[in-house]
Structure 1
Amino acid sequence: MVTTIILLVVSIAVILVCAELFTNSIEWLGHRLKLGEGAVGSILAAVGTAMPETMIPIIAILFVGTERSKDVGIGAILGAPFMLSTAAFFVTAMAVWTYTLRRRRTLEMVVNFDILKRDVGFFLPVYAVALGSSLLPSRELKWVTAIGLLITYAVYAYLTLKQEGDLSKDLNPLHFARHVDEPGLLIIVGQVLVALLGIILGSHVFVANLEEVSHAVGVPTLVLALIIAPLATELPEKFNSVLWVRERKDTLAMGNITGAMLFQSCIPVAIGLMFTPWVLDTPALLSGILALLSAGLVYVMMVARGKLSAGTLGLGGLFYVAFVAYVIRQGQSP
């Protein structure tokens, strides 16, 4: 048990260090490619950190192929948008409050609303379709829906990438070339890849040892599967956003989450629609509905008030707690 706890601590440290390497290098990559904040936060950072965990359900569905593996895959696919739109929102709000108290920043979140409204505006109907597709009567309709989701993400990516911008302001030196004013593309990409590899390995070790500790202290299997494991796999996105909040780069911090929400609700869901029955049970549907409510609240507040507050994001924690309470109650039911 002592070794397991040590590995937990070390893995968190590895994820934190690599998250710093990632946020630093992905900003430089965006600068070299002359991309705007939307493209860097909502696509490069979001897809970069979401891709490793996305491969887990895809591999389970496509290459393992058993009924149980497909069920696990569906759960993992739906767990990601839920965790991002509830727990990750809450963690970001906590970071804003914490760094404000430490006088590292102000409480107001300064974001590009065009970027965030586009992200969440795409996510809400797309994820509603993903949930509603469970009711479709035929495989053919599910395939059509899957293709529609892939096309939708392509359109979103095009709109985001074509937005002009430059991240030259407030760029910290690249960690792998601290004394070079304009590091080359090769060293930048090298730091990105090292960071991603460290995040993947650190997350794998963390999840494996967290599961071992959970079993040792008697955490119910249902709680582990639906709450603890998905929460752990979303650590990279949370850490990245916390680091960007510290630097007062709120658009990157939020885009890292909202971009990942849309990616996770399009690409993995399309795979699920094509290669599984895609019949959602009550916990899966509930998590999806809560994700829509949390994201919808943020969207409404942005549109109605023209600003985004840490308080609004913090409400995501209530939706997360509601689901935790439901799962625990289900685990206690005879």
Structure 2
Amino acid sequence: MTLGILLIALLVILIGAETFTNALEHLGERLKISEGVTGSIFAAVGTALPETMVPIVAILSTASTQAVREEVGVGAILGAPLMLSTLTMFLVAIFAIHKRGWQDDFHPERSGLTRDLRWFLLAFGLSAVAIFVPHHVAWVRALLALSLVLVYFIYLMLTIRASASLVADGHATKAGEPLFLVRLMGRINVPENLFTVLVQLGMGLAFIVFGAHGFVQGVEQLSAWLGISALVLALLIVPVATELPEKVNSIIWIRKRKDTLAFGNITGAMVFQGSLLPALGILLTPWEPRREVMAGLVLTIVASAYVLFMLRRGNLRPVHLFFNGFCYLAYLITVLI
């Protein structure tokens, strides 16, 4: 029964991801914005919102004990950037190799990807510093939380400002296929306009959210049978169940050689998840240095800094991202053995 729920939920998520990415490309084309903005802001935030609710609900709800709620909240907050910077990057490489070969270079818009990684490392670095601030020094923790919110606001402004010049340089978002909703309703001549695009966008996101919810239920049943602690469960299972399925968008785009959209969807979500949610964790949870937490912080920063280094060093290829997969494996070994 549990396996059936997982498979059905995954199918729903795949349908939703295809519908969402198709509509998103048309929206970006109509608004005349760059692929960087479409991937790093629209796609990243749009698909990150469902799993963002997990730590918020965990921290603010009255379900279970306070200790368990805080562990789930911290695990979900830190687990998403960890998974995005390690496992998701590795999976992108795997699917790129299958479609494009081992030595085929990625061609994302470099300035946007570099900006995403730099601002993520700044935000996540501040989150790491906050872990060592004693609880009784509340004003320092509050200042760090406010700084994280400010970091994301500045990042948004810089990303949007860069869009106009990128469009002029040929990096405008272009839809590769007709709008699915128009093609599906062809017999009744549904017009392809902004309203239709937004309707399909909402439909795709609804499928993703519904599928992710079912996926979480199936994984939770499986994890209960395995007997995993609340913090480890949140760090490992929650991000994989809620965030990874929605990053199917990046796999779809990488197979279509839309590298800017594919990487922007990942790194943009990293900035979002690595700034605003840790601000909540710093203010409302213990946010203290435990072995599982410290291992996740260090490996996330190492994996992200490595991608930035390889990008600045020269060409970024699928084989390079195997290192990110090894970082995720190292984390599994650290917390499970």
Considering the TM-score relative to the shorter chain, is it more than 0.5? yes
User: Does 2:324 correspond to 1:321?
Assistant: no
* Equivalence for 1:177: 182
Q: Letter of the aligned partner of 1:286 in structure 2?
A: A
> Residue 94 in 1 paired to residue 103 in 2?
no
Task: Work out whether 1:195 is the aligned partner of 2:195.
Answer: no
Counterparts of 1:26-105 in structure 2 under 5 Å?
26-64=24-62, 66-101=66-101
Report the 3-state secondary structure (helix = DSSP H, G, I; strand = E; otherwise coil) of the residue aligned with 1:35.
coil
- Aligned partners of 2:275 and 2:12: how far apart in 1? 30
Instruction: Give the aligned CA root-mean-square deviation in angstroms.
Output: 2.1
Match of 1:133 among 130, 133, 146: 130
Aligned to 1:230: 239
CA distance in 2, matches of 1:326, 1:251: 33
CA distance in 1, matches of 2:224, 2:57: 25
1:312 maps to which of 320, 328, 333: 320
Shift of 1:231: 1.6
Q: Alpha-carbon deviations, 1:15-65, whole Å to 9, x = none?
A: 001000111111111112221111100000000011110111012223438
Q: How many residues align?
A: 322
Task: Tell me if structure 2 keeps the 8 A contact 1:146–1:274.
Answer: yes
Deviation (angstroms), 1:326:
1.2
* 1:293 equivalent in alignment to 2:302: yes
Question: Aligned in 2, Cα 1:40/1:106: closer, same or farther, shift over 3 Å?
Answer: farther
What is the CA-CA distance between 1:111 and the residue it aligns to?
1.1
Q: Write the mapping of 1:142-157 to structure 2, written as runs, cut at 5 A.
A: 142-157=141-156
SS class of match (1:315): helix
Counterpart contact for 2:25–2:38, Cα < 8 Å: yes
Counterparts in 2 of 1:135 and 1:220: CA distance versus 1, 3 Å: closer
Q: Take 1:106 and 1:289, find their aligned partners in 2: how far apart are those partners? A: 29
1:208-247 aligned at under 5 Å gives the runs 208-216=217-225, 218=226, 220-221=228-229, 224-247=233-256
Alpha-carbon distance in structure 1 between the residues aligned to 2:176 and 2:103: 20
SS in 2 for 1:230: helix
Name the TM-score, length of structure 1 as normaliser.
0.91
**Contact 2:208 2:246 survives alignment (8 Å):** no
Q: Which runs of 5+ in 1 are unaligned?
A: 330-334
| TM-score under structure 2 length normalisation | 0.90
Q: 1:252 aligns with which of 256, 261, 269?
A: 261
Q: Where does structure 2 lack aligned partners over 5 or more consecutive residues?
A: none
Cα distance, 1:145–1:314 mapped onto 2, change above 3 Å: same
Aligned partner of 1:10 in structure 2 is: 8
- Structure 2: distance between partners of 1:290 and 1:98: 27
